[in-house]
Structure 1
Amino acid sequence: MLINNEFNEQKIQSPLQYIWAIFKGKNIAVISMWAVILLVLITLFCNYIIPYPPTLQHPEMLLLPPYWADGANPAHLLGTDDLGRDTFSRLLKGLQLTLGGALTITIIISMLGLMVGATAALTKGVKASVMHHLLDALLTIPTLLTALILIVLFGMSYENSLLAVLLSLLPQFIRGIYICIENELNKQHVIALRLDGATNLRLLRFGIFPNIIEPLVTLVNRVFTMAVLEITTLGFLGFGANLEELELGALIAKSLDLVYLSPYLVLFPGIAIFLIIIIFNIFSEGVRHAVIEGEE
């Protein structure tokens, strides 16, 4: 962890600098990082870069193929649907809703899950026992089934589908954090901090959280992946986005009747979902391996 500067003096790298040095040595991880940044920027600024309003119809240009196929129109890069709406614009809007929703869910679950999971792990007695058994009971129900039940109760809309997915995935994350912290509590360095009179906050900050970064990255990535899949599944089943909210799963469902006339309308949203998941998983694996190597 020693590096030389221009005066040939030795300087100790911080843990984050050391992890970054390992991470940037992995080419595929760095490529995935830039791809993640690009996807996030598209999500944030989608409304400013789409060439046409997603619901704008061009009656004279129905079911146009992508620009590389015969009969294409260069004004519509990925063609149009059966109402003449620009496929590229609708795909970008769907990407914004799916990826933006999944990232929002992941951030909220990460913050809530860390607080609740840490509190549960450090709490003893009846309250800890009740929370422990409650989480076990919730985990016996498949998350998608939980989301479907919740969205029926809340009503069918894009916002309610995000809330349903969030509430269905939250118990899994809390349980994962609980197990990670519980495993750390019996280690010698944590016991030493306890004997030294450390408060629970100091115990978490200096004794536990630095040692659970690797499983935490895995948990966050798992929540994100499941959020993407559940949002698109609910949209495909008709429980999520409405006609004006073009989530990727809903785009696929609305294009199934046209799959033989224009298979691109189903293919492009499916590829977008696949790329979102594979890019974020590669990035997560790169971070996880950098953390593991940094701890060795």
Structure 2
Amino acid sequence: MLINNGFNEDKIQSPLRYIWSIFKSKSIAVVAMWLVILLIFAAIFAPHFVPHSPLAQNSDKMLLPPYWVDGGDIDHILGTDDLGRDTLSRVFHGLQFTFGGAILITFIVAIIGMVIGASAALTKGIKASILHHLLDALLAIPSLLLALILITIFGPSYYNCLIAISLSLLPQFIRASYLAIEQELGKQYIIALQLDGATNLRLFRYGILPNILEPTITVINRLFTMAIIEIATLGFLGFGAQLPQTELGSLIASSMELIYLSPWLVIFPGLAIFLVIVIVNVFAEGLRHAVIEGEE
């Protein structure tokens, strides 16, 4: 895109600056971006700014409702559970386990999956063929079922849950990156780079990667959504975070018996999961549209 400065000189924006200029024109996406940054900040520094310890019990304040409901206490904005533990503090700590774990899984799977997928697409032979058929076999198994099988082998724990989910989602990202790169390899500008003697690394860095940003953002967004849902699901089923860890899925599971007496103990952790998924999806969708418009 051309920019005219005060001296009537034309400057060309870099692709990243051009994409950013498109993205920041979308107000909803920018708001979502700042909310994602706040979520990351909350996940990292949750223990330092929550009003109470998530494990501190108070027998005088058991099952308090939120402060805006009759009988609520401003000192416990979202109320307390059946042991008098502050719900707001427990939800923030749960966010650290659920949201933070999903980000970690997404980052690791995206890096490893892109390396393996690119290696398989840019090389031919028996190794690529074996990987191709192995991925087809693994993709026939639903990722949550595969995660359950793996967590049964590893044993229930939060970190084993993260490992199991990472391994269950890895084949999907490898397959998606493989197909995106393979589709680019048939285009004329890639063939021209190959004829010029470009190495596979240079071919991927300068020819393929800039042109697969849009499908990659879509896959990473889907990967994150599946990761956060599976962390919460395994926690709810008792295969993920174990007591006294306060993961959002396990918080919902531990409060199910009180759902009619204190429904907020289930509503607030579930609402936190829902809002995180919506915010990240709005941000990713805005970024994807900015990339598409920047390529036009």
1:10 deviates by: 1.6
1:51 deviates by: 1.1
TM-score, length-normalised on structure 1? 0.99
Deviation string 1:122-149 (CA, Å, 9 cap, x unpaired) is: 1111111101000000000010010001
Q: SS of 1:65's equivalent?
A: coil
Residue in 2 that maps onto 1:221 = 221
* Alpha-carbon separation, structure 1, partners of 2:178 and 2:132: 9
The answer to whether 1:51 aligns with 2:59 is: no
The amino acid of 2:80's aligned partner reads T
Identity %: 65
Q: How many residues align?
A: 296
Residue in 2 that maps onto 1:26 = 26
Please tell me the root mean square deviation across aligned C-alpha atoms, in Å.
0.7
* Alpha-carbon separation, structure 2, partners of 1:125 and 1:114: 19
* Alpha-carbon separation, structure 1, partners of 2:267 and 2:150: 30
Q: SS of 1:124's equivalent?
A: coil
* Alpha-carbon separation, structure 2, partners of 1:24 and 1:169: 31
Mapping of residues 88-237 of structure 1, within 5 Å: 88-237=88-237
* Alpha-carbon separation, structure 2, partners of 1:256 and 1:129: 48
TM-score, length-normalised on structure 2? 0.99
Q: SS of 2:223's equivalent?
A: helix
The amino acid of 1:260's aligned partner reads Y
* Alpha-carbon separation, structure 2, partners of 1:44 and 1:232: 18
1:8 deviates by: 3.4
* Alpha-carbon separation, structure 2, partners of 1:17 and 1:35: 21
Residue in 1 that maps onto 2:5 = 5
1:6 deviates by: 3.7
1:5 deviates by: 2.8
* Alpha-carbon separation, structure 1, partners of 2:5 and 2:234: 54
Q: SS of 2:53's equivalent?
A: coil
Q: SS of 1:11's equivalent?
A: strand
Give unmatched runs, 5+ long, in structure 2. none
1:172 deviates by: 0.2
Q: SS of 1:76's equivalent?
A: coil
Give unmatched runs, 5+ long, in structure 1. none
1:243 deviates by: 1.1
* Alpha-carbon separation, structure 2, partners of 1:114 and 1:259: 43
4+ long deviations beyond 4 Å: none
Q: SS of 2:255's equivalent?
A: helix
1:53 deviates by: 1.0
Residue in 2 that maps onto 1:41 = 41
Mapping of residues 59-78 of structure 1, within 5 Å: 59-78=59-78
* Alpha-carbon separation, structure 1, partners of 2:4 and 2:44: 40
